[in-house]
Amino acid sequence: MTKFILGKKSGMTQLFDENGNVIPATVIECEPMYVLQNKTVETDGYNAVKVASGATRAKLVNKPDAGQFKKADVEVKKYIREFEADEEYSLGQEIKVSDMFSVGDHVDVSGVSKGKGYAGNIKRHGQKGGPSGHGSMYHRRVGSMGANSTPARVLPGKKMPGHMGAVNCTVQNLSVVMVDGERGILVLRGAIPGPKGGLVTVKSSVKAK
């Protein structure tokens, strides 16, 4: 069974196991999802399920999305996502986090990382700084741009200062340490991308043994 859920990062905390060892944990708030559409190989070329989650006002939903909610007989939601799945669900079916995950499962978590703004090469790429003496005048700058007369240009891929963070990234193979279906809480061991309140997708790990 393919496991998946949409959630919001609530923050980090720590738990203790039966031996008294501390477990760094991230809490994810998972509201129930509702099925909008089943996609199949015959009609769409692949198997997937389209779900929606998160409360919002009806006036903020465009007409194409409003039509999907009406067809599935589901109240309008804020987020719509697709997940690969071979199982077929009924339209309008409610999916809770406790229906998908249990303690001991391994998952991959995807989200948008924290934005760091414009960052220099030392912070952005971990490069070494220049001489720290007062007369060097070259402490945290990029360094050589490459060869001089040949090729007489900066080669593509040169690591330089620029916008850092705010990109889609995935943390793989985290273990589930707690599932609370009544409160809609999923607790994972370790850290996940994004700020508090950031939207994340949790799926079955592709590399778990």
Q: What is the full per-residue pLDDT of the chain (209 aa) written as tens digits?
A: 889 999 999 999 999 988 999 999 999 999 999 999 999 999 999 999 999 999 999 999 999 999 999 999 999 999 999 999 988 899 999 999 999 999 999 999 999 999 999 999 999 999 999 888 888 888 999 988 988 888 889 999 999 999 999 999 999 999 999 999 899 999 999 999 999 999 999 999 998 76
Domains of the chain: 1-30+97-129+157-209 (2.40.30.10), 32-95 (3.30.160.810)
CA dist 209 and 196 (Å) reads 30
User: In 3D, which of 108, 78, 88, 79 has the Cα closest to residue 48?
Assistant: 88
pLDDT at 191: 96
What number of CA atoms fall less than 13 Å from residue 35's CA on the CB side? Answer: 17
CA dist 125 → 120, 128, 137, 161, 164 (Å): 8, 9, 21, 8, 10
Token code pair at residue 193:
């991308």
User: In 3D, which of 1, 6, 7, 207 has the Cα closest to residue 107?
Assistant: 207
CA dist 61 and 71 (Å) reads 15
pLDDT at 159: 94
CA dist 196 and 200 (Å) reads 11
pTM for the full model? 0.85
pLDDT at 199: 96
CA 160 to chain centre: 26
194: left (phi over 0), alpha (psi -120 to 50) or beta: left
pLDDT at 204: 94
The set of residues, in sequence order, having a beta carbon less than 8 Å from that of 24 and lying 6+ positions away, is 12, 14, 189, 190, 191
CA dist 209 and 172 (Å) reads 12
pLDDT at 136: 86
The set of residues, in sequence order, having a beta carbon less than 8 Å from that of 75 and lying 6+ positions away, is 55, 69
CA dist 24 and 87 (Å) reads 33
User: In 3D, which of 112, 66, 68 has the Cα closest to residue 92?
Assistant: 68
CA dist 201 and 126 (Å) reads 29
> Is 71 within 8 Å of 91 (Cβ atoms)?
yes
